[in-house]
């Protein structure tokens, strides 16, 4: 009987990788349905327009936020959409009611025209990610 079960499992997708769902890890409710205290990231603004800049210019903007939740806020990653952007942010937990910042730097070298870059902030909040956007109109010296 065991051999038959093993053969049946192999024939029915035994090669398929079984992955454990991560829904419980990122779900703000525990398995029994009770709510736990959550961190909440609230940005003053989630988009910034640098306006017209000269090609080759390096510009920065600092996004300010507050933890409006009831648990410490931890930013785990700021994912960039291209190598022309960089970010600086605190790796330390931010207590409820306290503020923090994420500094974004954009290098326009080699770019021209309208630019829009998205950065994804991953944290222990629900939802677990927040999008930040920077924009600029990059002009070449000939366009000035």
Question: What is the rounded CA–CA span in Å between residue 87 and residue 3?
Answer: 56
Residue 77 lies in a domain: yes
Residue 1 counted as domain residue: no
- Segment 83-140, tens digit of pLDDT: 999 999 989 999 999 999 999 999 999 999 999 999 999 999 999 999 999 999 999 9
Counted domains in the chain: 1
Question: Which CATH number do you get for residue 136?
Answer: 2.60.40.10
- For 63-85, the pLDDT digits (tens) are 999 999 999 999 999 999 889 99
> Domain range for residue 100?
37-143
Does residue 7 sit within a domain?
A: no
pTM equals 0.75
Q: Is 79 inside a domain boundary?
A: yes
Residue 78 in domain: yes
């Amino acid at each position: 009987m065991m051999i038959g079960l093993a053969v049946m499992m192999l024939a029915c997708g035994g090669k398929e990788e079984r992955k454990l769902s991560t829904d419980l890890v990122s779900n703000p409710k525990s398995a029994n349905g009770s709510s736990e205290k959550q961190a909440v990231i609230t940005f003053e603004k989630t988009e910034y327009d640098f306006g017209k800049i000269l090609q080759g210019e390096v510009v920065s903007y600092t996004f300010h936020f507050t933890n409006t939740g009831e648990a410490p806020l931890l930013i785990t990653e700021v994912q960039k959409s291209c190598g022309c952007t960089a970010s600086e942010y605190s790796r330390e937990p931010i207590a409820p009611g306290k503020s923090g910042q994420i500094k974004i730097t954009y290098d326009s070298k080699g770019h021209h025209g309208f630019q829009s870059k998205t950065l994804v902030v991953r944290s222990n909040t629900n939802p677990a990610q927040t999008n930040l956007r920077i924009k600029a109109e990059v002009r070449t010296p000939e366009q000035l």
